Amino acid sequence: MNFRSAILAIASLITTTCFAQPPDLERPEAKRILEFMEWKDVNVIAIRQGVNAKGEVAPIYATVLGFASRDSKNQQVCQTLIFDKDIGWHHLEMQEKAARIWTKDGYRETKIWTTWWNGTSSQSAPPTRPTAP
């Protein structure tokens, strides 16, 4: 029985070191991202680590709960943020021809690139890929 316990302990140790967990989303970072999303007077009440607003569980999710105002209206906020090792905690909004990303450092929009060009444009060549900011 001790041999099995040792094997389980080693397997557990290997699993946790190979699949590193994202860092917890901290309140100041969550507040800053919401402010970049044009929320004003943000008051973060709670952050649910590891779960999105739909109740799906994954370590890359964090749901921010709180109050804020937008368009001169006080509202409840329930916003899911996602972790990516390259860009950190962020909110991603996919559109037909662009992706909008809010991070603690601000907002950026990425447009479609040349591989998506379908040739229906009046241009003689496909548009060029946008450069990173």
Given this model, what pLDDT does residue 88 score?
Answer: 95
CA–CA separation, 119 vs 40, rounded Å? 43
Given this model, what pLDDT does residue 8 score?
Answer: 58
Stated pTM of the model: 0.69
Given this model, what pLDDT does residue 110 score?
Answer: 86
Given this model, what pLDDT does residue 125 score?
Answer: 42
Given this model, what pLDDT does residue 64 score?
Answer: 97
Q: Which residues contact 32 (CB under 8 A, 6 or more apart)?
A: 104
Domain ranges of the chain: 23-116
Give the residues of the chain that fall short of pLDDT 50. Answer: 16-17, 114-115, 117, 119-130
